[in-house]
Amino acid sequence: MRASIAIASAIALSCAAAGVARAGDPAAAEAAFLKGKQLLKGGQIAEACDAFDRSLALDPQFGTQYHLARCYEQLGRLASAWTQYRELAQRDHNPGRREDARKRAALLEPRLTRLLINFAGAVPGMVVTRNGDDITAAVGIETPVDTGQYTILARADGYKLWSATVTASGEGATVTVSIPALEHDVPDDEPGPPRQAPGETSEPGGATTAAAPARGGGRTTLALSVGGAGLIATGVGVFFGARASARWSDARALCGDDLLCDNPDDLRAGNRLVDEARTAGTVSTVLVGAGIAAVVGGAVLWLTAPDGPEGRELALVPDVGPDRFLLTAIRSF
């Protein structure tokens, strides 16, 4: 048993040593540092800051941190630069650089933009984040921040999420964000008042009854539509009937009652009038027949509209042609 423990400990120590070895890479850190200086000379300040930041992560050095702070200051990220200068002023082993960092931090301090977050009332387990970072402990403290937009979230179990986006700007300015009292969150499965279906009414004691539907419902609307269409068709049919009658009168006036014309031109004109009269007469017959059928059908639909959902259904299907008129009644039980 002791041998097993010793072997496991040796493996754990070896893995830890390997992890430490991989954490620092002085060669890569130096390459990133030199690249940052080159970018800075070329005016690529944002890229230079990224290079210095990577170098610092690969191999933490006070010199690299100082260059990163200077880069942040040139980029306008005053709060980030001030934070780096403050740390150097306390920890740097180089006296000259430590003093310079202290002076630069003092000069930047009055120019910093600060963000103050307050809330109306804390709730158990409340968490406040700024751009995803937990800053619950910083609530109520004027915190230096770089200028820009920030999304503030406040959440707690059993409460609705609160969020706001603010813009921090202005040297020496303090931007205040007030978080209101969080609202209780009602779970979706929490019992609530029963939902009522359309047409239902509530009675004292919680009973629900279905209201009696209006007579006919959709059947009444259909009856009005069919009857209205029938009236229109009948009116148009009467118009074509009058036109047919007028064409017959014109033909008789031109060629006589027997429609026999001695003049070939009058004969052709008379034949044309007769053809127009017959066509108009056919159209009139069909439209008037269909219109009357529709009017009758609409009346029947109106009169037979069911009083409730269990009423019997009656449908009238017209079938109209040049030489026929049928009205089929279909009733469901």
Report the 10 Å Cβ neighbour count for 266. Answer: 14
The topology (CATH level 3) of 113-179 is Immunoglobulin-like (2.60.40)
Three-class SS of residue 1? coil
Query: What pTM was computed for the model?
Result: 0.50
What would the pLDDT profile of 102-158 be if each residue is shown by its tens digit? 999 999 999 999 999 998 877 889 999 999 999 999 999 999 999 999 999 999 999
* HSE of 329, CA atoms in CB hemisphere, 13 A: 10
Q: What is the domain class of 24-109 according to CATH?
A: mainly alpha
**Cα–Cα distance for residue pair 255/243, rounded to 1 Å:** 18
Q: Which residues, at least 6 apart from 179, have a Cβ–Cβ distance to it below 8 Å? A: 117, 118, 119, 120, 128, 152, 154, 162, 164
pLDDT lower than 50: segments of the chain: 1-23, 203-215, 308-312, 322, 325, 333
160: left (phi over 0), alpha (psi -120 to 50) or beta: beta
Comma-separated ranges of CATH 1.25.40.10 domains in the chain: 24-109
Q: Residue 197 class from Cβ within 10 Å (0-12 exposed, 13-18 middle, 19+ buried)?
A: exposed
Nearest to 300 by CA among 318, 286, 282: 318
pLDDT given at position 326: 54
For tokens 């034949």, the residue is: 271
What would the pLDDT profile of 300-332 be if each residue is shown by its tens digit? 766 676 654 444 455 555 555 545 545 555 555
pLDDT given at position 298: 72
For 85-94, b where at least 16 C-beta lie within 10 A, e where not — what string?
A: bbebbeebee
Q: Residue 77 class from Cβ within 10 Å (0-12 exposed, 13-18 middle, 19+ buried)?
A: buried
For 166-193, b where at least 16 C-beta lie within 10 A, e where not — what string?
A: bebeeeeeebebebeebeeeeeeeeeee
pLDDT given at position 248: 66
**Cα–Cα distance for residue pair 176/164, rounded to 1 Å:** 12
pLDDT given at position 229: 80
Comma-separated ranges of CATH 2.60.40 domains in the chain: 113-179
